[in-house]
């Protein structure tokens, strides 16, 4: 009943006509056959994508001005990117473990993800420290400022992710929980992790290519 319909077909409905009334009366009152948490996550991701896209537009526009000086790319950034990719892979595996009901593996997976997330954040802070100690401050050139801004925003998104990872893990450990519920929550958290990886790769690629 509530399958996503062609949006134009939907907008062409004539709600006052008999045939339409009959089919409408059977409607579930739900437009997308997704849980509200999944729709919520998608909405947040959409807003996030707009936010980062606008930053990218601003970056590309500002880059054209002659005072732009590219920043060196510390090798540590590659390591951090690797950590993020690894955490995404582990999350993917953990989602599968939890679906298959492998308690121990899921638990270890969740712990490892948390460890990697913190490792990534600490890694980013070390990159900051390295850059600043070699004189690349945000005020030195706007390219540096964009770098600090992007990493901060991405980091804040990840901290939000860690908060939900914490809640999910805590819920998971309380054994008597609804299995379906937990799977669902791990899945959502995982989607967010993959999303953050994608955002980072786009941002990192952007900064590399310029």
Partner 1 sequence: MSDEYEHKIEAKSDYVSDASSVSTPDIDAVPESELPDQDLYHSHSWWTTYVFSQDAKYIGIQYALTAIGTGLLGLVLSWIMRIQLAFPGLGWLEPAAYYQFVTMHGMIMVIYLLTALFLGGFGNLLIPLMCGSRDMAFPYVNMLSYWAFVVAVLVLLASFFVPGGPTGAGWTLYPPQAITAGTPGSDMGIILMLISLILFVAGFTMGGLNYIITVLQLRARGMTLMRLPLTIWGIFTATVLAMLAFPALLVGCLMMTLDSLIGTSFFMPAMVSLGEKLSYDGGSPILFQHLFWFFGHPEVYIVALPAFGIVSDLLSVHARKTIFGYRMMVWAIVGIGALSFFVWAHHMYVSGMNPWFGFFFATTTLIIAVPTAIKVYNWILTLWKGNIQLSLPMLFSLAFIVTFLNGGLTGLFLGNVTVDVPLSDTYFVVAHFHMVMGIAPILVVFGAIYHWYPLITGRMMDETLGKIHFWITFVGSYAIYFPMHYQGFVGVPRRYFEIYDSPYIETSTLLLNQFITIAALIVGAAQLVFLYNLITSVRLGKKAEKNPWKANSLEWQTPQMPPEHGNWGKETPKVYRWAYDFSVPGAKEDYIPQNQPPSEIIGAKVEKT
Q: Which of 58, 159, 173, 201 binds partner 1 (CB under 8 A)?
A: 58
Minimum distance, C-beta of residue 122 to partner 1, in the bound complex (Å): 23
**Nearer to partner 1 by C-beta: 11 or 104?**
11
Does the protein bind partner 1 through residue 145 (CB under 8 A)?
yes
- Beta-carbon contacts of 157 under 8 Å, excluding residues fewer than 6 positions away, are 48, 196, 199
The CA distances from residue 138 to 122, 142, 145, 204, in Å, are: 19, 7, 4, 17
Size of the site for partner 1 (CB under 8 A): 43
Of 50-58, 113-121, 125-133, 172-180, which segment contacts partner 1 by CB under 8 A?
50-58
CA angle 94, 122, 110 (to 5 degrees): 15
**Nearer to partner 1 by C-beta: 17 or 101?**
17
Report the alpha-carbon distance of residue 150 to residue 52 in Å, rounded.
Answer: 9
**Nearer to partner 1 by C-beta: 51 or 122?**
51
Residue whose structure tokens are 């054994």: 175
> Phi then psi for 67, rounded to 5 degrees?
-80, 0
Tokens of 163: 């908060």
Residue whose structure tokens are 């609804």: 178
Report the alpha-carbon distance of residue 74 to residue 87 in Å, rounded.
Answer: 21
Interaction mask 147-166, partner 1, x per CB under 8 A: --x-----------------
Does the protein bind partner 1 through residue 3 (CB under 8 A)?
no
Does the protein bind partner 1 through residue 180 (CB under 8 A)?
no
Residues 120-139 that bind partner 1 (CB under 8 A): 138-139
Minimum distance, C-beta of residue 78 to partner 1, in the bound complex (Å): 26
Whether 109 and 91 have beta carbons less than 8 Å apart is answered as yes
Q: Which of 3, 61, 176, 180 binds partner 1 (CB under 8 A)?
A: 61
Of 28-36, 81-89, 159-167, 182-190, which segment contacts partner 1 by CB under 8 A?
28-36
Give the dihedral sign, CA 70/75/77/81.
positive
SS3 content of the chain, % helix, strand, coil (to 5): 75, 0, 25
Q: Where does this chain bind partner 1 (CB under 8 A)?
A: 10-18, 21, 24-32, 34, 36, 39-40, 43-44, 46-47, 50-51, 54-55, 58, 61-62, 65-68, 138-139, 142, 145, 149
């Amino acid at each position: 009943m509530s399958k996503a319909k062609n949006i134009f077909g939907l907008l062409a409905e004539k709600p006052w006509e008999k045939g339409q009334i009959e089919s409408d009366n059977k409607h579930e009152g739900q437009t997308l056959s997704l849980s509200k948490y999944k729709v919520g996550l998608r909405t947040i991701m959409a807003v996030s994508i707009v936010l980062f896209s606008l930053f990218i537009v601003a970056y590309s526009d500002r880059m054209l001005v002659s005072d732009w000086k590219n920043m060196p790319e510390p090798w540590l950034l590659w390591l951090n990117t690797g950590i993020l990719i690894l955490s995404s892979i582990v999350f993917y595996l953990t989602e599968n473990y939890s679906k298959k009901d492998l308690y121990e593996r899921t638990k270890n997976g969740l712990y490892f993800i948390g460890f990697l997330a913190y490792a990534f954040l600490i890694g980013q802070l070390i990159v900051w420290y390295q850059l600043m100690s070699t004189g690349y401050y945000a005020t030195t050139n706007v390219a540096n400022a964009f770098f600090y801004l992007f990493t901060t925003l991405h980091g804040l998104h990840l901290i939000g992710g860690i908060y939900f990872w914490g809640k999910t893990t805590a819920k998971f450990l309380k054994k008597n929980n609804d299995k379906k519920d937990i799977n669902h929550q791990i899945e959502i958290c995982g989607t967010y992790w993959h999303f953050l990886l994608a955002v980072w790769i786009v941002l990192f690629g952007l900064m590399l290519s310029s």
